[in-house]
Amino acid sequence: MAASDTAHAVAAATLPRHVAIIMDGNGRWAKKRHLPRLAGHKMGVEAVRKVTRAARAMGIEALTLYAFSSENWRRPEEEVGDLMGLLRHFIKSDLAELVSENVRLRVIGDYRRFSTDTVALIDDAMARTGSNTGPLLVIALNYGSQAELARAAQELARRARDGEMAVEAIDADAIDGLLETHDLPPLDLLIRTSGEQRLSNFLLWQAAYAELLFVDTLWPDFNAETLAEAIAAFGRRQRRFGGL
Q: Is 200 annotated as a binding residue?
A: yes
Burial zone of 106 (CB within 10 Å; 0-12 exposed, 13-18 middle, 19+ buried): buried
211 annotated ligand-binding residue: yes
- The answer to whether 34 is annotated as binding is no
Residue 69 annotated as lining a ligand binding site:
yes
For the question of residue 72 being annotated catalytic, the response is yes
Residue 97, marked binder: no
27 annotated as a binding-site residue = yes
Go through the chain and tell me how many residues it has: 244
188 is in an annotated binding site: no
| Residue 28, annotated as binding a ligand | yes
Whether 198 has a binding-site annotation, put simply, is yes
Does the annotation list 219 as a binding residue?
no
The one catalytic residue in 24, 94, 142, 188 is 24
Question: Three-class SS string for the chain?
Answer: CCHHHHHHHHHHHCCCCEEEEECCCHHHHHHHCCCCHHHHHHHHHHHHHHHHHHHHHHCCCEEEEEEEECCHHHCCHHHHHHHHHHHHHHHHHHHHHHHHCCCEEEEECCHHHCCHHHHHHHHHHHHHHCCCCCCEEEEEEEECHHHHHHHHHHHHHHHHHCCCCCHHHCCHHHHHCCCCCCCCCCCCEEEECCCCCCCCCCCCCCCCCCEEEECCCCHHHCCHHHHHHHHHHHHHCCCCCCCC
Q: Is 106 annotated as a binding residue?
A: no
Q: Let me know if 223 is a catalytic residue.
A: no
Q: Is 26 annotated as a binding residue?
A: yes
CA 179 to chain centre: 14
Q: Is 44 annotated as a binding residue?
A: no
Q: In angstroms, what is the C-alpha Rg of the chain?
A: 19
Residues annotated as catalytic are: 24, 72
Binding-site residues for substrate, please? 25-29, 37, 41, 69-71, 73, 75, 192, 198-200
Binding site per annotation, positions for Mg(2+)? 24, 211
Q: Could you tell me which residues are annotated as the binding site?
A: 24-29, 37, 41, 69-71, 73, 75, 192, 198-200, 211
